[in-house]
Amino acid sequence: MESSQEGPAPAQQSGGRWIWMFILPVPLLAFALGLWQPAWQRSEGAAQEGQASTLTSEWTDAPSQFSRALSQLPARSEAEWEVVSEFPRIFVRDDFLSFEECNFLKEQVAGRLQPAKVVEREENKYDQQVNVRNNQQIWLGYAEERDTPVISHILKRMHRAARIPDDDAEALQIGLYGIDEKYEVHPDSDPKNGVARPATLIVYLNDVDEGGETLFPLGSRAECTMRWRQDAEGKQKFGIQNCCDREGLLRISPKKGRAVLFFNHDTAGEIDMMAEHAACQVKRGEKWIAQRWFRYEPYQRLVHPPDVRFDGLPMSASQTRWTRSISQKSPSLFVIEEFLSVEECQALLDLLKETPSFKIFKEGGMARHWVDKEVQRRLEKIIKRMHTAVLMPEASSEPLQIGFYEPGSSQGIWMEMAAWVTTPKEQPSSQVAGAGSAWRNVADLVRSRSTRQSPSILECHTWCLLLVGVLCFSGPTQLLGLMTPQHFMAPVLRGQKGRRLLRSGSVQGSPSSSC
């Protein structure tokens, strides 16, 4: 398959050699005086800074020039995506990037943008088609992503936000739209042409004076297709011009730092036609975006080294800021700290005491309670938060379940949605500060089970389904999201025509019947 990355731009022809006699001495003089640092040295220095930060316990949250920018971002931000639509799955979050990060990305690509291309035909061939898309763009380089700490930090956050492993994506793409520039309605994923992208994350890098919305026409797609139509006043309009100003369609306005995350496939791996979208023409000003196209499988094979801020179990209270990845693949396992407040945990414990249990069965010292509709309603906020955290529609789970470890076996409560995994092999003892070891147990258990040959109901669930658990202690709470290994059923390409199959069997039916 051909890479979707465009090759480097051809070297510019110099216009008259004599001019270098005047230009060259300027940086040389500045360098000698210590006023100027070439770009490669700047990123090397920053990389060292980032590296050092992962090796010491006194790491700062970002390279020094960005610590202020990052500290301005709201805390516990990952769980706070706004669900704009469940079918298709679209989420929006303001302040995903700080102003400084937005400016950094724009400056990073200054002078390097090229006319954008689109996938045109089989074998992943790209070409320019100005009637479809007429903006400019650039993909960041491999080394640029790897060696620039600010960019690595942004990418880790993007991947944690989409719950997608670090290496399953195309390079970060920066796009610029001038006046009248647009991208007509299109899907981002095109498995038939070898481009299967489970999700897209776009961040707007500036405020746009007018226009430039990301439009999801949903059920009105047929009225926005690329042809000329006459409007009510007899004016001829092409493609999305017929839809961008229309009421009732889903439109996300650009705002500096705002992110929109959407899934191009449904949870069974089928292309979600409702996720087709467009970039409306910019009417005043300009529009900058940073865009990550996630893949189902490793793509550019850039693996960021583990970073204490994002990877592994938290070792200290200061490492609770971002969603953490415990295991990137097989299974994908995430932890979000402080998912419930201490008050919410207490409220749940009180609820357990006052609510007669409906279905309870005991198992290894743990009692399970499936809460009824009335209780579900009372816990609506928490349930919503759980669904948002795992990016799944609310209709996709079994009723909330609360597990209670009896005295002597453990302390705390355990809540799950969608499926259960198991109780930890070793119960956490009351001496354990926080919930870290309990999660370690669960993670280890899942990891060792997933390598076994014949699947038990446990593997069946961990392979096919999503699990969310919240462990409540008197200390901080954590949320553990266990995703399907291939982010909601990867489409598998078969033969030239790209027939799609589901890798892990169908999950259309009920959880227990599907495996």
Ligand X SMILES: O=C(O)CCC(=O)C(=O)O
Interface residues toward ligand X, by CB under 6 A? 175, 183, 188, 202, 214, 277, 279, 289, 291
**Contact at 8 Å (CB) between 47 and 147?**
yes
78 binds Fe ion (CB under 5 A): no
Which of these, 333, 327, 352, lies nearest to 402 by C-alpha position? 352
Partners of 481 in the β-ladder: 334, 468
User: Minimal distance in Å, beta carbon 289 to Fe ion?
Assistant: 10
Residue 437 CB, nearest approach to ligand X (Å) = 44
Residue 504 class from Cβ within 10 Å (0-12 exposed, 13-18 middle, 19+ buried)?
Answer: middle
Our CB check for ligand X shows the closer of 79 and 179 to be 179
Q: Cβ–Cβ contacts within 10 Å for residue 190, how many?
A: 18
Side chain identity, residue 295: R
Angle between helical axes of 149-162 and 64-71 (0-180°, round to 10): 40
Question: Minimum distance between the CB of residue 466 and Fe ion, rounded to whole angstroms?
Answer: 25
Nearer to Fe ion, 108 or 264 (CB): 264
Binders of Fe ion among residues 184 to 243 (CB under 5 A) are 188
Q: How far is the CB of 136 from ligand X (least distance, A)?
A: 11
Q: Which is nearer to ligand X, 296 or 439 (CB)?
A: 296
Considering the complex, state which of residue 106 and residue 329 has its C-beta at the smaller distance from ligand X: 106
Distances (CA, A) of 73 to 93, 163, 207, 449: 11, 20, 18, 38
Tell me how far, at minimum, the Cβ of 52 lies from ligand X, in Å.
Answer: 36
Q: Which residues contact 235 (CB under 8 A, 6 or more apart)?
A: none
Residues in contact with Fe ion, shown as a per-residue x/- string from 176 to 195 under the rule CB under 5 A: ------------x-------
CB 375, CB 418: distance < 8 Å = no
Q: What's the min distance (Å) between Cβ of 109 and ligand X? A: 15
Q: Cβ 170 to ligand X, closest distance in Å? A: 11
Q: Tell me how crowded residue 444 is: count the other CB atoms within 10 A of its CB.
A: 14
Tokens read off for 199: 């999700």
- The nearer residue to Fe ion, 145 or 188, going by C-beta atoms, is 188
Of the pair 134, 152, the CB lying nearest ligand X is at 134
CA distances to 4, 118, 190, 492 from 123, rounded to whole Å, are: 10, 13, 11, 15
CB-based contact 22:28 (threshold 8 Å): no
For the bound state, the minimum distance from the C-beta of residue 224 to ligand X, rounded and expressed in Å, comes to 13
Contact 135, 116 (CB under 8 A): yes
Partner touching 202 among Fe ion, ligand X, none, CB below 5 to 8 Å by kind: ligand X
Residues 339 and 79: their CA atoms lie apart, in Å, by: 8
For residues 186 and 264, is the Cβ–Cβ distance under 8 A? no
The residue among 133 and 321 lying less far from ligand X, judged by its C-beta, is 133
Q: How far is the CB of 211 from ligand X (least distance, A)?
A: 11
Q: For the sheet containing 277-279, what is the strand order?
A: 183-186, 277-279, 214-216, 250-252
Nearer to ligand X, 221 or 329 (CB): 221
List, in sequence order, every residue forming a beta bridge with 401; answer none if it has no partner: 370, 416
| 214 or 328: CB nearest ligand X | 214
C-beta neighbour count of 23 within 10 angstroms: 8
Residue 289 contact, options ligand X, Fe ion, none, Cβ 5-8 Å cut-off depending on partner type: ligand X
- Site for Fe ion, rule CB under 5 A: 188
